[in-house]
Chain A
């Protein structure tokens, strides 16, 4: 089993079709808007809420030496708020005999 984790309280990890990632991110942004009619109390709450709901931890079984993702799918690290030159840490562990 491959476990993939992103450090931090605002990123999101997604396993989605590569061609659909931009649409999925748009849906996520609509689901938890940055600026709702009544503003969030915590300044970047939207980024935290997206991170919690969509998760910073994913698991993918390894079969025949390959992660068992569907054809055309990818694992994506998503920044949920505007950041520039921001270093991020992703930890990948492979568990098994």
Chain B
């Protein structure tokens, strides 16, 4: 418990808008971008979440490896057919991970990935929300 008159760590929420390039169909590894935003903004303890407001795009967490991404594409086609909307419903538009001592806690292989099924190449927006204690 904080003593009276002694300020504890300041907690707050910041939302950072980033724009990335996408071919319109495929996976984009966002992990480097997320780590750089966490570092730039100075989040030391808390949670980082990634969201995309783009239609027919989802945010997932998975290993970024080509044969696994092909398995992912196969599963999505088998379960959701050609409907990007169903993929959005199944996989969601949000993912998150804790930050401890300024480090995003993912483990050895897990990455933040944007899956774009829109068939619309170009710039895509991602919102990175940082919540917790900042230095």
Listed in ascending order, the chain A residues whose CB lies under 8 Å from chain B are: 3, 5, 7-9, 32, 40-42, 45, 48-49, 51-53, 55-57, 89, 91, 93, 95
Contact = CB atoms under 8 A, between A and B. Distances in A.
Contacts of A53: 90-91
A33 to B, nearest CB: 11
A52 B60 contact: yes
B56 interface: no
Contacts of A93: 45-47, 98, 132
Nearest to B90: A53
Interface stretch (B18-26, B67-75, B118-126): B67-75
* Interface footprint category on B: 20 to 34
Contacts of B86: none
Contacts of A52: 60-62, 72, 91
Contact of B63 (A9, A40, A91): A9
B98 A91 contact: yes
Nearest to B49: A57
Contacts of B107: 7-9, 89
Contact of A95 (B61, B67, B90, B131): B131
Contacts of B30: none
A61 B47 CA distance: 15
Given A7-B106, A8-B108, A49 B100 contact: no
A58 to B, nearest CB: 10
B110 A9 contact: yes
